[in-house]
Amino acid sequence: MRYAQILGTGSYLPARRMSNEDISKIVDTSDEWIAERTGIRARHLAAAGEQTSDLAVQAARAALADAKVHAEDIDLIIVATATPDMTFPATACLVQNKLGIAGCAAFDVQAVCAGFMYALVTANAYIQSGMAKKALVIGAEIFSRLLDWNDRRTCVLFGDGAGAVVLGAADKPGILHAKLKADGAYSHILNTPGKVANGEVDASPFLYMDGQAVYKFAVKALSKVGADVLLEAGMTAADVDWVIPHQANQRIIESTAKHLGIGMDKVILTVAEHGNTSAASIPLALDVGIKDGRIRRGDTLLLEGIGGGFAWGAVLLQY
């Protein structure tokens, strides 16, 4: 059987770190208020001249170096992002050019915070079918540019960053099982409706979120999809060494882990320093867990993510 195996990981955070204290100088909030409700202490913000493709390239180069793979060996690039450099071309094409390569397939996936799940599963299918041998899968976002910095309900939650993995064809695990889901009936509780039309921005360009509704749906959906993936793979929570969840809110992560019967000592948490980096959050957390030595070769990992759409999913893999 042909598998897609992680050969290397990389990540990148913009230089500017904004703490909760920094935000409290902009809106009526405090470090205690934010941390108690979300677990977030700080986030990183892209500089004025930085684009999503720039963040993606930095993470990609780190992942390529970690995998000991040359950029020209990549035959598929998928970028998961809800904040592309421009309407078109795809940010993946811009990343491809900045990496100095050409000719391989390159496209974006837009499933917001679940985007990395969707991109990873797509790359896995390419590799399993023989259409690709080495794939670069990137989650990259500059969500700070979608925020209304007068709205303390949303501006405190998000940050910018990028994470990447290099996948390679292998005859041993690999990605073991995955499940993707979506339900557009819930699109009204988390969205950014603005779009370019006739030379103007039509509708609000700012992120909108019904926090309570998102929390309830996220815990239920992530708990079920995680349990389903384990059941369908013939495994249990006891077989999981590490959970790498989308880093939206510590309460969501804790509740989901409890429903799955997995202790928080098996969960990689980066939300405190990164905030919610949307499609970048899972590969960022994965890279942190690998680089600090907690995640080791042979470990079984459960990756989970959910975002606007709603779109969500889980991937079970052996690192």
Quick check: 1 pLDDT over 90?
Answer: no
Q: Is 93 known to be catalytic?
A: no
Q: Beginning with the edge strand found earlier in the chain, give each strand of the sheet holding 300-307 in spatial order.
A: 175-182, 311-318, 300-307, 242-245
Q: How confident is the model at residue 302, as a pLDDT?
A: 98
Quick one: 10 exposed, middle or buried, by C-beta within 10 A (0-12, 13-18, 19+)? Answer: buried
Q: Is 276 known to be catalytic?
A: yes
* Cβ proximity of 230 and 176 under 8 Å: no
Q: How confident is the model at residue 106, as a pLDDT?
A: 98
Q: Residue 29's CB: how many other CB atoms inside 10 A?
A: 18
* Two tokens, residue 176: 């073991």
φ and ψ of 88, to 5 deg: -160, 155
Q: How confident is the model at residue 159, as a pLDDT?
A: 98
Q: Do both 112 and 237 map to the same domain?
A: no
Quick check: 234 pLDDT over 90?
Answer: yes
The count of domains in the chain is 2
Residue 112, CB-side half-sphere exposure with 13 Å CA sphere: 19
Q: In the listed set 134, 150, 172, which residue is the last one of a domain according to the structure?
A: 172
CATH of the domain at 267: 3.40.47.10
Q: Do both 160 and 260 map to the same domain?
A: no
Whole-angstrom Cα distance, residue 97 to residue 85? 14
- Find the mean pLDDT for residues 3-15: 98
Pick the catalytic residue: 93, 104, 113, 155?
113
Question: Domain limits at 31?
Answer: 3-172
pLDDT band for 83, please (50, 70, 90 cuts): very high
Q: Do both 103 and 205 map to the same domain?
A: no
Q: Do both 298 and 203 map to the same domain?
A: yes
Quick check: 28 pLDDT over 90?
Answer: yes
Quick check: 45 pLDDT over 90?
Answer: yes
Pick the catalytic residue: 20, 93, 246, 274?
246
Whole-angstrom Cα distance, residue 82 to residue 146? 10
Looking at residue 139, its amino acid is: G
Q: Do both 69 and 166 map to the same domain?
A: yes
Name the average pLDDT for the chain. Answer: 97
Distance from first CA to last CA of the chain, Å, rounded?
17
Q: Do both 167 and 205 map to the same domain?
A: no
Quick check: 169 pLDDT over 90?
Answer: yes
Q: Do both 128 and 232 map to the same domain?
A: no
Q: Do both 12 and 113 map to the same domain?
A: yes
Q: What percent of the chain has pLDDT over 90?
A: 100
**pLDDT tens column, 98-116:** 999 999 999 999 999 999 9
Q: Do both 238 and 190 map to the same domain?
A: yes
**pLDDT tens column, 267-291:** 999 999 999 999 999 999 999 999 9
**pLDDT tens column, 293-302:** 999 999 999 9
**pLDDT tens column, 136-157:** 999 999 999 999 999 999 999 9
Q: Is 155 known to be catalytic?
A: no
